[in-house]
Structures are given as structure tokens and as C-alpha cells.
Amino acid sequence: MSITVTGTVERRDIGTGAWALVTDDGTTYEILRGADKSLLKAGQKAKVTGEVREDVMTIAMIGPVLEVKSFDLLK
């Protein structure tokens, strides 16, 4: 399922660590490994378009896994 969401990037200290996108409505998505490093900065706001991957499981299990396809950094 492809989605576009706006939120804040967070680093979660769970297991080996995980990156999350917490949307403006409070939904947490786990950012799939391999995302562009310029997105992965704690506290950064972004509009992200990606694919929710229901075929992927992670150790962190903090929310649905989001494979980032594109993003725009917001100020």
C-alpha cells in the first residue's frame, strides 16, 4: 500500500536501534533500513511517500514498516 505522510523523524533505542517517522496524528512508522541518510536525522520534519511493507518483520516492532520511495524535508 502506497502512502504519503508528514511527520517527525525519531531515533528509537530498541535493540540495535531503529528510525521512526511519527506522523502529525501520532501514528508511528518504522523506516525500513536503507533509507537515504539525509532523511535520518532525529527531530527533522519530512513529507514521505513510500510503501507500507506487510511482508517485513523487524526486531524493533514499533509500528508498520515504511519503505521510503521519496521525501521532502520541511522547515
- Would you say residue 16 has pLDDT above 90? no
Question: 48: domain CATH number?
Answer: 2.40.50.500
DSSP H stretches of helix in 7-75: none
State yes or no: pLDDT of 13 exceeds 90: yes
Asked if the model's pLDDT at residue 10 lies above 90, the reply is yes
Residue 22 has what pLDDT?
Answer: 98
Cβ proximity of 45 and 52 under 8 Å: no
Report which of 64, 46, 45 is spatially closest to residue 55, judged by C-alpha positions: 64
Q: What is the total count of domains within the chain?
A: 1
Task: List pLDDT tens digits, range 36-67.
Answer: 999 999 999 999 999 999 999 999 999 999 99
Provide the domain limits for residue 34: 2-74
As a whole number of angstroms, the distance between CA 27 and CA 62 comes to 10
pTM for the model stands at 0.93
